[in-house]
Amino acid sequence: MSRSDWTDPAQYEHMRGHEADEFAAEYLIRNDDFAAECGRLASSAIAPGKLAGSPDFAARWGARFHSCR
């Protein structure tokens, strides 16, 4: 899979005018470590409506997710 160069300012031109949380989400989805950890969370058994990930995950990434299952 081809990955864009996250250090290239031109890659973020489409983000002009976005709010900080939108920019943060863009950063996270481009981070290989975050994507890998989310993949592990997605494959774990989590009760519907419960928060996925440990408090360490939230501290590390500044994000928590509710289970979709």
pLDDT of residue 49: 66
Name the residue among 10, 63, 5, 68 with its Cα closest to residue 35: 63
Instruction: Give the residue carrying structure tokens 């590390």.
Output: 60
Residue 65 CB neighbour total at 10 angstroms: 15
Interval 12-55: pLDDT, tens: 788 788 888 887 888 888 889 988 888 887 777 666 666 666 77
Strand partners, 65: 52
AA identity, residue 64: R
pLDDT of residue 1: 44
List the chain domain ranges.
Answer: 11-66
Angle at 66 between CA 56 and CA 15, to 5 degrees: 85
